[in-house]
Structure 1
């Protein structure tokens, strides 16, 4: 292993919700340019649930949700004296919860903590939700690090840096009207990075996170003209970063990582989880309350918390949803390495979802490989998004598939790697590049196959397919192992029970 110069720096650029198959010379000429001169991770995957705030936390901790504890964009915290509904888009709630648990809201150290401990710096600029921006650098205030939001000034720290940026660029942009591409914040943050953060702070590691095309995919559709417009616009903003990198960054030993947190599939039918459970005699609600038997977390990721989570109750509720045509893969507490306590379900640990915050029953909405109206593969049921709109959170291959491109002086050029990889691998790879040993909390691996300093031998890949079934319901889950690292590839349910 070569000795790394302390001058090595990393810039991670994120496109929220970008599917790899939407990168093309016509729509994204700058991403295409980077692909041709860098190393492409052709089998890159995210984590389950394939939600933004879960995935971004895995990015900065280098580990899976069962370790870092952000088990979904929303979850029920039953460890509190009074169970509370947690929406991780709420940055102030995250701050309060972290203080309440003595700074241990995340179950693993993140990049900001690790870098400061090793005398390095870390800056985050993000136009995602306020909560997602905080999760990327959740201890920025106490560590003296930079965190800027493209929409929410209250998340920014330190105050002097926000004043410096606003004085140069004008006020932080307001969120775009619902249904419109969110463009202003992407331009604002790109300018903030190029004109202020890089020249004045020169962080050892920086994250520039664009909130598009996720917003447009949700409200217009993943291949709709407005979404393609947003993708093209953000590609143009990335082009400004790429031009700077090619002119100055490479010579300063700056490495680029381009990534997305998840993909999307298109809604083709509506699901009715609340009605299904109500019909089975379970009184449902979005939060704990008198007479509530099942708390069903609203959203694309299915999560059911039972007021009395006995094995009998879990089997009843899980069996009920398995009868519905919209029910995809189902997970419950394990009664073995593969099977859950509910017949036909998988054990939660198989999907790295076994945490004290996890729901008693986790499920994805059924997805298929049919082509949507935009000519893209991947459709799903949804409980609350209209037909034709983009969604994510589940285990379809197109939801789990994400972008991964690396480039720089120590990255192989023109490589398309077929070695499976994960969003958890970026943090240990970043630390390797700047000369810090990854901590034992990281379950991701160093992406040795793309580093020019490493041997040409490709790692051994072990692919495993697990199956469970009960009556007419069956499901399959594909996992991949490389050394000690294990990834989820995808999962699906192939049939449902027939009601009698």
Structure 2
């Protein structure tokens, strides 16, 4: 049996009947594109296609900036952009370089998340491999640990006590091989979701499936491996959807399937810190608390931080980057002013930002002697671009309780998902930057 964790004190403080109205299962699919359910690739994604035909769909879901896994998933559950929720990159930016690695903890999110709103109403929550959830107040939790040192040990450390053992009979063991492989991790997550739905019936379940995004990162957008990954993820999604039915929850559950960001093909790397090295602003080959200026990258995005003690002003540093912005007559990146970053709700504290042009992505490499590292050798997929960059749109589908069958919306934003889910569950989510997608909901 899966362990029961009851927020007893919270429950005692709420009036009878105060539980959330209905249940919601949010499945995040890294790399989900509208084409996967609007045509073309949908032929290899029958579950997505069926959900789209029976429910409501969006022609394009605008991501945040940087369009990257952890910032985007935090926006999905808070309804605010990175500058508000505090996770501005995939990997931690710490000016003193005392903390490194990915943003992985729920305490990193400084905005109110859906799981808090659900628990405040006396509901229960579960999350499987959702980014930035370690130590979050979630009843049944298996956090995303693939970027942590020793993932199996980290998973056991942060998972709900007893949950891994309880899931072993139905989902199998969370072995190193399972956690290292996106496809095996997705299969495990889908089976675990079904077991939790059957035995615990949470009001809110968050599941992240990563195989499609992993294939796009490794091979670019159009490789055969991406089509195969779409079929694999679609099968895992089908397991979750069937799990809702098997648990007898279909009539009271809304399924939300959302992408977090898109990808843009690249075959060349730029090392922005090499520009700073050439200007004499970086010494050594590893980060140091004695930095004066540093570029912190996130895929095809980079934030340039200028310390007050820097011998060069922010404007002078920006000019150094302008001088290196072209390679063989073509642009490598564009510079984003502080004003532009504020408009994007991005990169707090940075003097300015960089966005790689198509064909390029960034590396943090401090050892690079030249900004232009033509070493990729084949096409890969870059994340992190601005939301308006072609290819960065994600997909969004809703089906089930409270959804307008046949509802179609040309465009929505990632930050619209949380307030829409809150409306479906009768929750209060004040202060979000998104809106309720009323066009997709039943009257």
User: Do they fold alike, i.e. is TM over 0.5?
Assistant: yes
Q: 1:272 to 1:156 in 2, by over 3 A?
A: closer
CA distance in 2: counterparts of 1:272 and 1:158, whole angstroms:
40
Aligned length: 397
CA distance in 1: counterparts of 2:344 and 2:98, whole angstroms:
24
CA distance in 1: counterparts of 2:222 and 2:85, whole angstroms:
33
CA distance in 2: counterparts of 1:6 and 1:176, whole angstroms:
34
Whose strand proportion is higher, 1 or 2?
A: 1
CA distance in 2: counterparts of 1:243 and 1:169, whole angstroms:
15
Counterpart selection for 2:58 from 18, 29, 41: 41
Shift of 1:28: 1.1
Shift of 1:40: 0.9
Unaligned runs of 5+ in 2: 1-16, 364-372
Comparing 317-326 and 183-192, the one that deviates more: 317-326
Shift of 1:77: 2.3
CA distance in 2: counterparts of 1:263 and 1:155, whole angstroms:
32
Shift of 1:217: 1.6
Check if 1:302 corresponds to 2:293: no
Shift of 1:60: 1.2
Which secondary structure state, in structure 2, belongs to the residue aligned with residue 71 of structure 1?
coil
Contact 1:173 1:185 in 2 (8 A): no
Shift of 1:155: 5.4
Check if 1:119 corresponds to 2:133: no
- Name the residue aligned to 2:168: 166
Which secondary structure state, in structure 2, belongs to the residue aligned with residue 397 of structure 1?
coil
Counterpart selection for 2:98 from 84, 94, 99: 84
Counterpart selection for 1:16 from 23, 26, 30: 30
Check if 1:62 corresponds to 2:79: yes
- Name the residue aligned to 1:328: 333
CA distance in 2: counterparts of 1:403 and 1:254, whole angstroms:
20
Counterpart selection for 1:392 from 383, 389, 393: 383
- Name the residue aligned to 2:395: 403
CA distance in 1: counterparts of 2:93 and 2:209, whole angstroms:
28
Shift of 1:317: 1.6
Which secondary structure state, in structure 2, belongs to the residue aligned with residue 400 of structure 1?
coil
Shift of 1:271: 2.0
Query: How far does the alpha carbon of each residue in 1:125-157 deviate from its partner, in whole angstroms, 9 at most, with x for none?
Result: 12x6xxx2xx1x3543xx361112576423543
Contact 2:279 2:320 in 1 (8 A): yes
Contact 1:428 1:444 in 2 (8 A): yes
Check if 1:359 corresponds to 2:376: no
Which secondary structure state, in structure 2, belongs to the residue aligned with residue 25 of structure 1?
helix
State the TM-score, normalized to the length of structure 1. 0.72
CA distance in 2: counterparts of 1:275 and 1:239, whole angstroms:
46
Contact 1:76 1:84 in 2 (8 A): no
Contact 1:8 1:253 in 2 (8 A): yes
Shift of 1:261: 0.6
CA distance in 1: counterparts of 2:157 and 2:395, whole angstroms:
27
**What does residue range 279-298 of structure 1 map to in structure 2 within 5 Å?**
279-283=278-282, 287-290=287-290, 292-298=291-297
- Name the residue aligned to 1:450: 440
Query: How far does the alpha carbon of each residue in 1:293-338 deviate from its partner, in whole angstroms, 9 at most, with x for none?
Result: 322224422122223367952111212222312443423434xxxx
Shift of 1:87: 2.5
CA distance in 2: counterparts of 1:6 and 1:18, whole angstroms:
28
- Name the residue aligned to 1:102: none
- Name the residue aligned to 1:486: none
Which secondary structure state, in structure 2, belongs to the residue aligned with residue 262 of structure 1?
coil
Counterpart selection for 2:414 from 423, 435, 451: 423
Q: Which has the higher contact order (CA 8 A, sep 6+)?
A: 2
Shift of 1:12: 0.6
CA distance in 2: counterparts of 1:250 and 1:328, whole angstroms:
49
Which secondary structure state, in structure 2, belongs to the residue aligned with residue 73 of structure 1?
coil
Q: 1:277 to 1:176 in 2, by over 3 A?
A: farther
- Name the residue aligned to 1:436: 427
Q: 1:448 to 1:139 in 2, by over 3 A?
A: farther
Shift of 1:158: 1.8
Contact 1:173 1:188 in 2 (8 A): no
Unaligned runs of 5+ in 1: 99-104, 335-345, 368-378, 454-500
CA distance in 2: counterparts of 1:329 and 1:148, whole angstroms:
39
- Name the residue aligned to 1:223: 222
Counterpart selection for 2:44 from 24, 27, 34: 27
Q: 1:388 to 1:436 in 2, by over 3 A?
A: same
Which secondary structure state, in structure 1, belongs to the residue aligned with residue 182 of structure 2?
coil
CA distance in 2: counterparts of 1:146 and 1:19, whole angstroms:
29
